Structure 1
Amino acid sequence: MSPLPAPMRSPADSASLEQVRHLARQLDTSIRLPGGFQVGWDAVLGLVPVVGDWAGALLSCYIIWQAVRLGASREVLLRMVGNVAVESLVGAVPFLGDVFDAAWKANTRNVRLLEEHLVAPTATRRASRAWVLGIVLLLVALLALAVTLAVLAVRALASIGSQG
């Protein structure tokens, strides 16, 4: 994570940014595993069913709250919320979710997004719009798939009921 150009920072903003950088490191990369892979306390918390995933998500929300305070755009904030949501939802799946959680590193992604926004707000906003659009399209596709599967399941049950 790179420091921002001096003109873009007030002492309070610099302190907040350093605070979220430190939190992201603790949550995502503070524990070195054999082979050089790094995980953080978010992955460790995620091993505790339900409560651990919620605790990790709440800690991640602090980074988003600081981004709001530092003036991140709506698109960047949506992208940050999306990163935490993806990590939380997939992370809730036993074992595989924990592996995903350790690899996804939503907090590190979010701090990088915040830094990029503070340096180049327009470019980051444009990239974030594309990301949000992609997520919306993915959710629409998943919803269509869920509705299709539900209709097929109801038809299958109806045909079984009419035969009996």
Structure 2
Amino acid sequence: MEASTLMRDQQKIQQLRDLSVLMDSKFQGPFGFKFGLDGILGLIPFVGDFTTSAVSIYIIIAAAKMGCSPAVLVRMGLNIVVENLADMFPALGNIFDFFWRANNKNIILLDQHMLNPRAATFRSRLTLVLVVLSLIGILVASIAFTVFIFKQILEWISLFSS
């Protein structure tokens, strides 16, 4: 990699890191608890979540431009999805915003990718496989539970019809 490109990437990563810290951990509350604008803006309905999601997506786009592998980018996206899914629950989502810190997690993934792209890609692929397998497991368990409940209802109905 050319020295000027490496310097630009390092500067860009530092800018992204600063943005991430501002969003997730810039301020310190009681007992050393750190929080950022993400948690504060998340308290504003619609506008807050839109703004914080836009910043998170900007970080992912910048990581893509720096050559992050698709597996790492998907894992970054998964961090944002988890945060946005939690935001669907009033109050609980707002509390979750103060603890999840998706942007900080994504900067760590970017740093890992820049240090060792192959290892970061492998870890991200492994994580994604585990997530997919977990989702498949949840789906299978849900179907099995539904079938079990349906059978129980049919047996219960048959007791009254005999």
Normalised by the size of structure 1, how large is the TM-score? 0.81
1:153 positional shift: 7.5
| 2:81 match | 85
| 1:33 match | 29
Q: CA separation of 1:150/1:83 partners in 2, compared to 1, >3 Å: closer, same or farther?
A: same
Q: How does 1:125-140 map to 2 (within 5 A)?
A: 125-140=121-136
1:134 positional shift: 1.4
1:78 positional shift: 1.0
1:132 positional shift: 0.5
For the 8 Å contact 1:50–1:92, the answer to whether it is kept is: no
| 1:4 match | none
| 1:54 match | 50
2:62 counterpart of 1:76: no
Gaps of 5+ in 2: none
Between stretches 49-58 and 113-122, larger displacement belongs to 49-58
**Counterpart AA for 1:80:** M
**Counterpart AA for 2:50:** W
Ranges of 4+ aligned residues in structure 1 off by more than 4 Å: 145-163
2:9 counterpart of 1:18: no
1:149 positional shift: 6.0
- Distance in 2 (CA, whole Å) between partners of 1:157 and 1:149 is 12
1:40 positional shift: 0.6
2:107 counterpart of 1:111: yes
Between stretches 49-58 and 18-27, larger displacement belongs to 49-58
- Distance in 2 (CA, whole Å) between partners of 1:59 and 1:158 is 51
RMSD: 2.6
- Distance in 1 (CA, whole Å) between partners of 2:69 and 2:19 is 21
**SS of 1:35 mapped into structure 2:** helix
**SS of 1:26 mapped into structure 2:** helix
**Counterpart AA for 1:137:** L
- Distance in 1 (CA, whole Å) between partners of 2:94 and 2:46 is 12
1:139 positional shift: 2.1
Normalised by the size of structure 2, how large is the TM-score? 0.82
Number of equivalent positions: 159
1:100 positional shift: 1.8
Gaps of 5+ in 1: 1-6
- Distance in 1 (CA, whole Å) between partners of 2:44 and 2:153 is 38
